[in-house]
């Protein structure tokens, strides 16, 4: 099968090995709608030796913050981040679950102090079981699975 090709970028970020179908979620995390003018390439459901299928997002002239990388790790844990400079892969890293999520994911417990309007409490979830992707709320003790976090992202 002929591979779908998108040309290499000059400077920016390539997010590769995204689970198939999750590219648009990654773009939403990055706040990219298309109207910012950033040159973006999105490949969905292309062949991957490692994953069977995968999505790829290429961002020309855009680099990611720590928080953005942490959020992507929650919805696309298999992704690799490639930082491109002068057409070369200058840095490549895979994602790991952040030990602490501060102000990134809302606690699902509606009575948690971190959900009380007017309380200056920033949500804080701590990784308690990396194997199972299990976090615990620092304030109320509620356990939260990575798989339920897509709906709980703050921003
Ligand atoms: N890439 C790009 N523009 C560049 C350099 C790389 O768009 N100037 C893209 C490649 O198309 C690929 C990703 O960045 O999707 C990583 O590049 P590279 O490390 O060269 O590819 P692989 O060795 O296949 O990566 P991996 O081992 O992570 O699968
Ligand atoms: Zn809580």
pLDDT at 129: 97
Any idea what DSSP says for residue 153? B
Could you report the average pLDDT of every consecutive run of 10 residues in the chain (155 residues)? 79 97 96 93 92 94 96 95 98 96 96 93 97 97 96 89
Domain boundaries, the chain: 12-94, 100-152
pLDDT at 64: 97
User: Alpha carbon of 89 to those of 11, 14, 44, 85, 93: distances in Å?
Assistant: 9, 9, 21, 7, 11
- Residue 108: CA atoms inside 13 Å, Cβ hemisphere, count? 13
- CATH fold of 100-152 reads SH3 type barrels. (2.30.30)
**87 within ligand 1 shell (Cβ under 6 A):** yes
pLDDT at 6: 87
**89 within ligand 1 shell (Cβ under 6 A):** yes
- CATH fold of 12-94 reads Alpha-Beta Plaits (3.30.70)
Tokens for 81, please give them: 């981040």
Protein residues with C-beta less than 5 angstroms from the ion ligand 2: 107, 109, 112, 137, 139-140, 142
pLDDT at 50: 82
Do the Cβ atoms of 129 and 137 come closer than 8 Å? no
Q: Do domains 12-94 and 100-152 have the same CATH topology?
A: no
pLDDT at 1: 47
């Amino acid at each position: 099968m002929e591979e779908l090709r998108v040309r290499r970028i000059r400077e920016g970020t390539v997010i590769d090995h995204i689970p198939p179908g999750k590219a648009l979620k990654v773009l939403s995390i990055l706040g990219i709608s298309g109207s910012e003018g950033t040159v973006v390439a999105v490949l969905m459901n292309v062949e991957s030796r490692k994953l069977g299928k995968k999505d790829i997002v290429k961002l020309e002239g855009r680099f990611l913050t720590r928080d953005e990388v942490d959020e992507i790790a929650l919805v696309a844990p298999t992704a690799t981040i490639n930082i491109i400079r002068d057409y070369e892969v200058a840095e490549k890293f895979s994602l790991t679950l952040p030990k602490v999520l501060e102000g990134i994911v809302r606690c699902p417990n509606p009575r948690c102090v971190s959900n009380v309007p007017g309380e200056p409490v920033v949500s804080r979830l701590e990784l308690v079981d990396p194997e199972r992707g299990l976090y615990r709320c620092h304030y109320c003790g509620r356990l939260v699975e990575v798989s339920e976090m897509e709906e709980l992202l703050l921003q």
